[in-house]
Chains A and B, each alone.
Chain A
Amino acid sequence: MKMRISLLAAASVIALGTSASADDYVVGVMSAQSGYLAPYDQPSYAGFKYCIDKINENGGLNGSIPVKTIVKDTRSDIAEGVKVVQEMIDEGAQFIVASADADPTIAAAQITAADGIPTMTFAGTAPVLTQVGEHVFGSYPADNQQAAVLADYAYGEGLRKVYLVKSPDAAYTLGGPEYFGEAFTALGGEVVGESLYSLNQPDFSAIVTTIKASDPQPDVIVTWAWEPDFPAFIKALRGAGVQTPVMGGDVLDTPTVRGLGEAVDGVIHTSGGYPNEGSKYATFMEEFEAATGTTPDNNYYVNGCDIAHMIEQAVDAAGSTDPAAVSAALAEIEDGEGIMSNFTFKGTDRMPLREVVIAKINADGSKEFIKRELADLDTLPKP
C-alpha cells in the first residue's frame, strides 16, 4: 500500500512537472524523427527549439509569456501526423507547427480548422497549402516566388528556351517547374519540352536521351527534383555529355548536392537565405554552432528559428493568445524582422513574401552568392 501511494505521488509529480501553467503559450510541434521528412523536420526543429529556449530565457514571448512546447514524432506518416495533432490540441496547444511539407501540413490544418488554431508549416513551400483556411501559414519563400525570381534571372542571362523536368508525385516537384514555365513565358521565353519522372525513379537515362534528341535544343534545363533524384538526374545528364545549364529549386541547397563534384559545376539554384559576412544569419550560425556543437549547414535551422520570431511578433501584435486573434495578427504582419530574411504576410495569401537568393554551385563544393531579390506580388504565378 505504501509502495502504491509513493508511486501515485511520484506519478502526480511527473504529471505536474509536464503540464502547462495557465500563463504558458502552448505550441504543438509535429517533427518527423524518421522517414522522408526527417532530413527537413530535424534541422527545422533544432533551430526552432534553440530560439524558443532563448526566448524563454528572457522571460518568454515579448518577455512575459513563457512558451511550452509539446513535440511529437510523426515518423513521416500522414495518418500518424493527424493523430498527434489531435493529441496536442487535447493537451492544450494554441499554435501548431506542422511538418516540413505541404501534404502533412494540409492534413494537420484540417484538424486545427475546427478551433481555428493557427497552423504553420516548418518549411512546406507549395503555395496551395494555405488554401485550406485562414488559419494556415507558410514560413519559407513559396515555390512560385522562387520560380519567378529564378525565371527573371535566367531571362536576364539571355536564356530563352527551357526544358522542364517535373514529377507529378509531389506538389513541390510539379509546381516549381510549372511556375517557372509560366513566369518565363510571360517574360518572353519559351518552353521547348517537358519530361515527367516518378519520385525515386531508378534511372534517368531515358529522360536524358529524350532531352538530347529534343529539337530545338534548350538553353537551360529546370527541375525541382530533390535527393536522391537530382543527383541521379545530373549524373546521367552530364554522363551522357549534355552540358546545357541546369537550374533548380531551394532543395538543391544541400551539402549532398554540392558534394557531387564536376557533375554539379555551375548548377544554379534558389534558396531561402545566404549567410553573407556580417549578416544576422552569419551571427546566428556562429552562435548556434557554439551552443549546440552542430553546424547549421542548411536553411531549415534558421527558418525554424524565424518561426519562433513569427509567433512572438504575432502574439505581440494580437495583444492576446486567442487563436483567432493570433491568426488575424499574423496575417497582417508587414516587414516582420527575421534572421534568414524579413517576412511580410500582409497582402499575400499567407505564404510570406520573403527574399529569394540565387546561388551557384562550384565544382569544388563551394556555393557562390549571386543575388537576392523579392518576387513581384503583381506578376507572381497563381497557385
Chain B
Amino acid sequence: MELILQQAINAISLGGVYAMLALGLAIVFSIVRLINFAHGEIMTFGGYGIFLSLLFGMPPAAALLIGVGAAVVMALAMERLAFRAMRGADVVSLLITSFAVSEILKVLFQNGISARPVPISLPASWSGTYQIGGATIGVLPTVSIIVALVALLGLTLFLKRTEIGIAMRAAAEDLEMLLLLGVRANRVVAVAFAISGLLAGIAAVIWTAQRGSVDPMMGFFPVLKAFIATVLGGLGSLGGAVLGGFAIGILEVLAQAFLPEAFAPYRDAIVLATVIAALLVRPDGLLPAANADRS
C-alpha cells in the first residue's frame, strides 16, 4: 500500500512536468501551427538562469524566480527573432526553423557556459521527507505536484476569464477571423510564447530542483516526451496536452516500478507502443481539438 502511494506520487509529479511542457507546446502550436522543438532550450535557459543567479550569490528563492523569468525572456526573444519572420510559412519550414534554433542554442550553451553539467545546489531542507500513514513522501515531488496543478489552474482561469486569454482561444480556433475582428496578432502570439516560456520556466525549476544539475542537453528528452504527450492528447488541444502529459508520466513510472527486470530494456518501447495503441483507437488523440490535425 505504501509502495503504491509512493509510486503514485512519483507518477503524478513526473506527469505534472510533462503536462506543463506539453501545454507550452500546444499553446504555441494551436495559434501559429509551430511545433517548437526549441522549447527544450527555453527550459534549459531557465535552468542556466537559476545556476547563474546562485553563482552570483542570490538567495535560492530569488534564483528560482529569475530562472522562470529567463525562460519567459528566451521564449519572447525566440518569437521575435526567429519565428515572427516565418509567420505563415508551412509546417515543415517552421519545424526546421525550430530545429535550427534548438541546435544554435545548444552549441551556444556548450561553448558559452560549459559542455559539462553545472551543479544546482538548493538548501538540503528543501528536499526533506514527511510521513503519511507510514509512507515516507518526499517534499520536492509533493511541491512539484502542487506547483504544476496551481500553474495549470491559473492558466485555465487566464484563458477563460481575461480578454487576451479569450482572444488566444479564439486565435486557436481561427486566427484569420480574429484578425478580421481587429485583434493584434503580434500581441496574441507574443503572449502565447510568453505563457509557453513561463510553463517551461516552472518546469525547469522543478526539474533542476529534483535533478541537481543543468546541461546543454537538459531540455531535449523531456520536450520529446512532451511532444509525444501533445500527440497523444490531440495535437492543438490544450486539455489534451495536459491529459497526455499526465498519461505519459504515469505510464513511465508504472513501467519503471512494476515491469519485471527482464523487460526493463524495452520500457520505452512498451510506453510508446501503448501510445500507438491509444492512437489507433483514437486517431485524433484522447481529447481532439475542434479543428483537429490528425496526428
**Do A and B actually bind?**
yes
Residues of A within 8 A of B (CB): 34, 36, 38-39, 42, 168, 194-198, 200, 202-203, 205-207, 209-210, 212-213, 227-228, 231-232, 234-236, 238-241, 254-263
Interface hit among B6-14, B165-173, B274-282, B284-292 = B6-14
Q: Given A203-B253, A205-B13, does the pair A36, B217 have CB atoms closer than 8 Å?
A: yes
Would you call A236 and B121 a contact (CB within 8 A)? no
B264 x A205 contact (CB < 8 A):
no
Of all chain A residues, which has the CB nearest B115?
A38
What residues of chain B have their CB less than 8 Å away from a CB belonging to chain A? Answer: 2-3, 6-7, 9-10, 13-14, 17, 107, 110-111, 114-119, 121, 124, 127-129, 136, 138-141, 210-213, 215, 217-218, 220-222, 225, 252-253, 256-257, 261, 264-265, 267-268
CB within 8 A of A209: which of B3, B14, B107, B127? B3
Distance from B23 Cβ to chain A, minimum over Cβ atoms (Å): 17
Partner of A207, one of B129, B138, B139, B256: B256
Query: What separation, in Å, do the CA atoms of A222 and B211 have in the docked complex?
Result: 19
| Residues from chain B with Cβ under 8 Å of A228 in the complex | 117, 211-213, 215, 218
A residues in contact with B212, CB < 8 Å: 228, 231-232, 234-235, 260, 263
B119, A231: Cβ atoms closer than 8 Å: yes
| Contact A205-B124, Cβ < 8 Å, known A212-B136, A235-B212 | no
Contact present for B107 and A256 (CB under 8 Å)? no
By a CB distance below 8 angstroms, the chain B residues around A42 are: 115
Docked CA distance A137–B220 (Å): 34
Given the complex, which residues of B lie within 8 Å of A256, measured CB to CB?
A: 116-119, 213
Chain B residues in 8 Å Cβ range of A240:
6, 129, 136, 138
Main DSSP-derived SS at the A contact region:
helix
Q: Is the CB of A205 within 8 A of B10?
A: yes
Query: Contact check: which of A203, A234, A239, A263 meets B129 at CB < 8 Å?
Result: A239
- On whether A239 and B213 interact (CB within 8 A), knowing A38-B115, A259-B119, A259-B121, the answer reads no
Interface pair B252/A262, CB less than 8 Å apart? no
Once the chains bind, are A205 and B141 in contact (CB under 8 Å)?
yes
Residues of B within 8 A of A235 (CB): 127, 210-212
**When A and B form their complex, which 10 residue pairs have the shortest distance between CB atoms, in order from nearest?**
A259-B119, A231-B212, A262-B124, A205-B10, A206-B256, A239-B127, A232-B211, A261-B121, A38-B115, A196-B264
Please, which residue of chain A has its CB at the minimum distance from the CB of B119? A259
Residues of B within 8 A of A259 (CB): 118-119, 121
Q: Are A227's CB and B215's CB within 8 A? A: yes
Inter-subunit contact A200/B221 (CB<8 Å): yes
Asked whether B14 lies within 8 Å of A203 as measured between CB atoms, the reply is yes
Question: What is the CA–CA distance of A34 and B216 in the complex, to the nearest angstrom?
Answer: 10
Residue of chain A at shortest CB distance from B258: A206
What is the chain A residue whose CB lies nearest that of B54?
A259
Question: Which among A168, A227, A239, A263 is the interface contact of B117 at CB below 8 angstroms?
Answer: A227
* A/B interface sample: 27 pairs, CB < 8 A: A39-B116, A168-B264, A202-B222, A202-B252, A203-B13, A203-B252, A205-B6, A205-B13, A206-B257, A209-B3, A209-B10, A212-B6, A213-B3, A227-B215, A228-B117, A228-B213, A231-B117, A232-B210, A234-B212, A235-B211, A239-B128, A241-B136, A256-B213, A257-B119, A260-B121, A260-B212, A263-B121
Q: How far is the CB of B59 from the nearest CB of chain A, in Å?
A: 15
Q: Which of A203, A212, A261 has the most CB of B within 10 A?
A: A203
> Do B213 and A231 touch (CB < 8 A)?
yes
Whether A209 contacts B6 by the Cβ 8 Å rule is yes
Contacts of A168 in B (CB 8 A): 264-265
What chain A residues lie within 8 Å of B6 (beta carbons)?
A: 205, 209, 212, 240
In the complex, are the beta carbons of B140 and A239 less than 8 A apart? yes
- Chain A nearest Cβ from B33, distance in angstroms: 28
The residues of A that contact B127 with a CB separation of less than 8 Å are 235, 238-239, 263
Chain A residues within 8 Å of B141, by CB: 205, 239
List A contacts of B10 (CB < 8 A): 203, 205-206, 209
Residues on A with C-beta less than 8 A from B17 are 202
Residue in contact with A194 in the complex, picked from B7, B114, B211, B261, CB distance below 8 Å: B261
